Amino acid sequence: MASIRFKSITKKFGEFVAVEDLNLEMNDGEFVCLLGPSGCGKTTTLRMIAGLETPTSGQLLIGDREVTFLHPKDRKISMVFQDYALYPHMNLADNIAYPLKVRGEAEAKRHARAREVADVLKIGHLMERMPSQISGGQQQRTSLARALVYPSEVYLFDEPLSNLDAKLRLEARGFLNHLQRDMGMTAVYVTHDQAEAMALATRVAVMDAGKVVQYAPPMEVYRRPATTFVANFVGSPPMNLLPVEAMIADGALHLKADRVSVAPLPVSRAVAAALNGNSKLTLGVRPEHLSIARGGEANAITGQLFANENMGPEKLVTLERDDAARFTARIFTDDVIALESTVTLGFSSEHIHLFDPAGARLPMDGEPA
Amino acid sequence: MTRYLGLYFTRIGFSVATALIGVFFALPLVWFIFAPFNPRAELGLSIPEPFSLTNFEAVFQNGFAMRGLWNSLVQSVGGVILVGAGATLASYALSRSPIPGKSVITYILLLFSSVVSGSAAMVPIFLIINGIGLIDTQIAVILVFAGGLLPTAMFILRDFIDSIPKSYEESAMVAGASPVQAFFDVALPVIRPGIVVVVVWAFVSIWGSFLIPFILLRSSEKMPASVAIYSFYSEAGTPIVTLLAAYSLLYSLPVVILYLLVSWKFGFRFFGGIKA
Ligand SMILES: Nc1ncnc2c1ncn2[C@@H]1O[C@H](COP(=O)(O)OP(=O)(O)O)[C@@H](O)[C@H]1O
Ligand SMILES: [Mg+2]
C-alpha cells in the first residue's frame, strides 16, 4: 500500500485541457472517490495514476517513487475497467490468473490462487466458463477478482458499477465497502454517482471541468459544500438554491426574495466581506431539511404545488415558483400527504447555506473557512 | 379472391425464375465436377460414361503441371506469410498509436496498391525487379504480391482492430505485461478472426493470379499452376478439355480445402469478437 501525490499535474489533449493544475494527496490506506459529471476529467486523472496517460506537465508520486513517466507494468497497481476488459479468449480461471502468469507464476499455483479469490467473490464455480457465458454481475466480479489476485500498492476503479442494474449495484457497493474495511487498501475510485462516493469514500474529490473544486471527507462535502456546483451535485435530490437580495441592518443579515421569509441571520465575516458593495447572494437548503409549514416557522418559502412523489418511507414534495424555479422537500413519513395547490415549506436557520455571487460558500462564523 | 390468385401466380413465377437463374449458375460447376472423370470430355455437359481416372493419370504424368501446383503453393504461402504478418503488425501500430494523419496514410497506400497490382504498373515493376536482379525468382513474385496486397489487408485489419477496445491491452499492461506480452497474450488472439479473413483472401488472390508470375518468371520449372494450365492447350490454342478439366479440379482443391479448414476451425465471422 502506498500514498499518491499529484504535484501541479496538467493534462492536455491537443489544445483541450482535460485536467488543470491538479494538486492532490491521497494517504496510504485511503479510499478516494473522484466524483463529477461526465467529461470533467475523472478517468483521465485515474489513467495518469495507472500510467495509461502521461501528464503534459507536473509530477506524480506513488509512495516516494516518482512515477510520472513510468510504464504501467512497473507501477504495482491494479485496475478495474468500466467495460471490465475481460479477455474473451480465456476462461475465468485464466482471466483472473493473468497477472500471476505475467509474473511467471506456475500454472497450478496461479490457478489455485485465482480460485481462492474467486471463491471469496462467489464465482469459484464458474472458473471454466468464458466471459461471454456469464452475467454482467459475474463479469464485474471477475474483473474485480483479477485486480485482487495479486498484492498491489494502489487499486484503481473506473466506474466499476455503472454497467450493473440498480439492485446488483447496491450489493456490489456494499461488498466494496466491506473489502475496503477488510484490506485497508489504497484505492482511487471514479464515479459520477454521488451516492457511491458517499458510501465508499474516506475522502471525496469533487471535480468540475478538469479541476478539483472540493476535496474533503464525504460528510464534510455534504454538510459544507464548497461551491454551488458541489451543493448541486451531492445529495439526492440536490440542494435547493435560490437567488436572494441581501442587506445588513441592525447588525443582522436580512435576506429577501418573493414569497420567501427568512429570519435575520448573524453576520459572519465572510458574509460581510462578500456583501461589500454587493447585494446578491444564493440561499441553499437541502430537501431533507424542509418540511410542510404548519405556521410559526422561522423561515418559509411558498409556491404552487408541482409534484408530490411517494417514495415509500419518504415523500418528495416539489413546489414551483413564479420564475419556474423549483424547491423540493424530502419528508420522512409513510403517511400520505394531502396538499393544497399552494404549498409553503419551512426550514430552520441552522440549515441555511449561503454562497457568494461567484458560487463560493460563505462560511458561518466558527465554521472552518 | 382474384387478388390472392394473382399473388399466388406471382409467387410461382418468381420461384421458377430464381430456379432458372440458379440452374444457369450451377451448370459450369456441374461440368467442373463431372468433366474431369470423363475420358471423352467436351465442352458440353454429360454424365461420365464410363467413370474413369485416366484424365488424372495424364495430368499427374505432366511434370510441368505438377510442379506448377507446388510453385503456386510456395508463392501463395510465402505471400500469405508476408501479408499476414506485415498487415497485422502495421495495422495494429496504425490503430493503436497516435500518429497524426494515419487514415490518410492508409488511404494513400490503398490507392497506390490498386495501381501496383493492376496491369498498368507491370512495366515499372518488371524494370525494378530486373534492376535488383530478382527476375525469374520466386522471391520476386512473393514480394510483388505482398506489396500489392498489403495495403488492402492493412485497411481491412485496421478497421477490425479499431473496433476492439484498447482496454484489453491496457488491463494487461496494468496487470504487469510489457507491450509485447500484451500484444501476444491479449491483442493477437482477439484480432485472430480478422487475420484469418485477410489470410484467406490473400491466399486466394495469389493462387489465382496469372499476370505477375507470367511476367516475372522465365524458367518453366518456376511457373505456378495459373500459368502451367496453359500447357493443356494445343499449339493452335485449343484446350485439351479432358486434361484441362482434371487439372482445374486439382487446381481448385487447395482453395476449397482452405475454406473448409478455416470455417471448421474458426468459423467465418468478421466483426463481433470471439464467441467461445
Ligand atoms: N484520448 C483523448 N483525446 C482527446 N480528448 C480526450 C481523450 N480522453 C479524454 N478526452 C477528453 O477529456 C475530457 C475528460 O475526459 P474523461 O477524463 O474521460 O472524463 P470523465 O471520466 O470525467 O467522464 C473529455 O472532454 C474528453 O472528451
Ligand atoms: Mg470516465
- Note the pLDDT tens digit of each residue in B93-128: 999 888 888 888 888 888 877 776 667 788 888 999
**In the predicted structure, residue B274 carries a pLDDT above the cut 50:** no
Regarding whether B131 and B247 lie in a shared domain, the answer is: yes
Three-state secondary structure call for residue A124 = helix
In a domain, A367, yes or no: no
Looking at the partner chain, which of A73, A91, A132 has a beta carbon nearest the beta carbon of B275?
A: A132
Average pLDDT over chain A, rounded to an integer: 91
Contact A50 B174 (CB under 8 A): yes
Regarding whether A168 and A44 lie in a shared domain, the answer is: yes
Regarding whether A300 and A162 lie in a shared domain, the answer is: no
| Residue of chain A nearest B179, judged by CA positions | A73
- Note the pLDDT tens digit of each residue in A28-73: 999 999 999 999 999 999 999 999 999 999 999 999 899 999 999 9
Three-state secondary structure call for residue B81 = helix
- Rounded CA separation A178/A181 (Å): 5
- Note the pLDDT tens digit of each residue in B11-61: 999 999 999 999 988 888 888 888 888 887 677 777 777 788 888 888 888
pTM above 0.90, yes or no: no
Regarding whether B184 and B97 lie in a shared domain, the answer is: yes
More confident residue, B116 or A147: A147
Least confident of A279-293, A334-348, B172-186: A334-348
The pLDDT value given to residue B116: 64
The pLDDT value given to residue B275: 39
Residue from A9, A12, A13, A47 whose mutation best tests the ligand 1 pocket (most atoms within 8 A of CB)? A13
In a domain, A363, yes or no: no
Least confident of A187-191, A214-218, B258-262, B264-268: B264-268
**In the predicted structure, residue A188 carries a pLDDT above the cut 90:** yes
Q: How far is the CA of A40 from the centre of ligand 2 (A)?
A: 8
| Residue of chain B nearest A75, judged by CA positions | B174
Residues contacting ligand 1 via CB (< 6 Å): A 13, 16, 18, 36, 38-44
CB atoms within 10 A of CB B155: 20
Facing residues of A285 across strands? A240
Q: Is the peptide bond before A131 cis (omega within 30 degrees of 0)?
A: no
Regarding whether A219 and A166 lie in a shared domain, the answer is: yes
- Atom 2 of ligand 1: nearest residue by CA position: A13
Question: How many structural domains compose chain A?
Answer: 2
Q: Which residues have CB atoms below 5 A from the ion given as ligand 2?
A: A 43
The pLDDT value given to residue A312: 85
| Residue of chain A nearest B100, judged by CA positions | A14
Which residue range forms the structural domain that includes residue B22?
Answer: 2-52
Least confident of A84-88, A208-212, B54-58, B143-147: B54-58
- Atom 17 of ligand 1: nearest residue by CA position: A41
| Residue of chain A nearest B275, judged by CA positions | A132
Question: How many structural domains compose chain B?
Answer: 2
Q: How far is CA A231 from the centre of its chain?
A: 12
Regarding whether B229 and B133 lie in a shared domain, the answer is: yes
Looking at the partner chain, which of B181, B273, B274 has a beta carbon nearest the beta carbon of A102?
A: B181
Which residue range forms the structural domain that includes residue A309?
Answer: 240-355
Q: How far is the CA of B154 from the centre of ligand 1 (A)?
A: 28
More confident residue, A311 or B235: A311
The CATH number of the domain holding residue A49 is: 3.40.50.300
- Best mutation target among B174, B190, B192 (most A Cβ atoms within 10 Å) is B174
In a domain, B270, yes or no: no
Regarding whether B237 and B139 lie in a shared domain, the answer is: yes
Looking at the partner chain, which of B165, B170, B275 has a beta carbon nearest the beta carbon of A52?
A: B170
Regarding whether A162 and A297 lie in a shared domain, the answer is: no
Regarding whether A128 and A222 lie in a shared domain, the answer is: yes
Q: Are strands A31-35 and A154-158 parallel, antiparallel or unpaired?
A: unpaired
**Helix or strand holding residue A93 (H, E):** helix A92-102
- Atom 9 of ligand 1: nearest residue by CA position: A44
Q: DSSP letter string over A21-80?
A: EEEEEE-TT-EEEEE-STTSSHHHHHHHHHTSS--SEEEEEETTEE-TT--GGGS-EEEE
Facing residues of A187 across strands? A31, A155
**CA of A46, closest atom in ligand 1:** 17
Residues of B in contact with A102 (CB under 8 A): 172, 175-177, 181, 185
In a domain, B156, yes or no: yes
More confident residue, B152 or B48: B152
In a domain, B58, yes or no: no
- Note the pLDDT tens digit of each residue in B69-79: 999 999 999 99
Mark which residues 110-169 of A lie under 8 Å from B by CB: 130, 132-133, 143, 146, 150, 156
Least confident of A299-303, A361-365, B9-13: A361-365
Given pLDDT bands bounded at 50, 70 and 90, which one contains residue B132?
very high
Regarding whether A133 and A54 lie in a shared domain, the answer is: yes
Domain-terminating residue out of A198, A233, A268: A233
Regarding whether A59 and A25 lie in a shared domain, the answer is: yes
Mark which residues 276-315 of A lie under 8 Å from B by CB: none
* Ligand nearest the Cα atom of residue A46: 1
